[in-house]
């Protein structure tokens, strides 16, 4: 099998990439969901990265930074490109970037039934902290943290 992981290029999200990122957002999180990427990429308190394979935007991830703490906000990969370690590569770059900006740990919340994301986070060294009941309406969130 072609090693897509090696080919995936990671970079910041620029204005020109936003329509492609939005399309991934729509297919992964639904029509109702709309991040204001224009604002977020211009704000120093956030880092948003994307992954390209053969020049196609196939994934993105974002985190916020506040002093020594950061929060992972999103990670999403186009369905055809999943299970090729692209999210892993993207998140490893994100860890480096937030660490270089002074963050010492990263927190995240994830829906309790999102097995693929939970496995991804555990594999990257996130440790389960606890549960937030009904954080997503009727679903609870699992909270994880990772030392950077
Ligand atoms: C979760 C998501 C980002 C993973 O992206 P990915 O590029 O496929 O992840 P990776 O290939 O880096 O996977 C790394 C590890 O995560 C786990 N994992 C990923 N997808 C999985 C799945 N469908 N089932 C079980 N474990 C899974 C595995 O442990 C995997 O390692 P392995 O393939 O060696 O077993 C992707 O499935 C996605 O975009 N989901 C929809 C959006 C979403 O729910 N995002 C998270 C909340 S913001």
pLDDT at 1: 46
User: What is the number of structural domains in the chain?
Assistant: 1
Query: Ligand 1 in contact with 52 (CB < 6 A)?
Result: no
Task: Write the CATH number for 12.
Answer: 3.40.630.30
Separation of 35 CA from ligand 1 center, angstroms?
21
**CA nearest 109: which of 80, 144, 78, 82?**
144
DSSP string, 104-141: -EEEEEEETT-HHHHHHHHHTT-EEEEEEEEEETTEEE
Provide the residue range defining the domain that includes 58.
Answer: 4-147
Query: Ligand 1 in contact with 75 (CB < 6 A)?
Result: yes
pLDDT 10s digits, 87-139: 999 999 999 999 999 999 999 999 999 999 999 999 999 999 999 999 888 89
Mean pLDDT taken over the chain: 94
| Beta carbons of 56 and 21 less than 8 angstroms apart | no
Separation of 137 CA from ligand 1 center, angstroms?
23
Q: Is the pLDDT of residue 24 over 80?
A: yes
């Amino acid at each position: 099998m072609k090693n897509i992981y090696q080919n995936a290029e990671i970079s910041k999200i620029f204005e020109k990439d936003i329509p492609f990122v939005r399309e991934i957002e729509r297919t992964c999180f639904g029509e109702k969901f709309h991040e204001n990427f224009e604002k977020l990429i211009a704000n120093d308190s956030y880092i948003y990265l994307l992954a390209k394979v053969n020049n196609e935007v196939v994934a993105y991830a974002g985190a916020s930074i506040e002093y020594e703490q950061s929060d992972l906000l999103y990670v999403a990969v186009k369905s055809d490109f999943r299970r090729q370690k692209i999210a892993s590569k993207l998140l490893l770059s994100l860890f480096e970037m937030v660490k270089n900006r002074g963050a010492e740990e990263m927190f995240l919340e994830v829906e309790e039934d999102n097995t693929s994301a939970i496995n991804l986070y555990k594999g990257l060294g996130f440790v389960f902290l606890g549960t937030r009941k009904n954080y997503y309406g009727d679903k609870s969130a699992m909270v994880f943290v990772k030392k950077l």
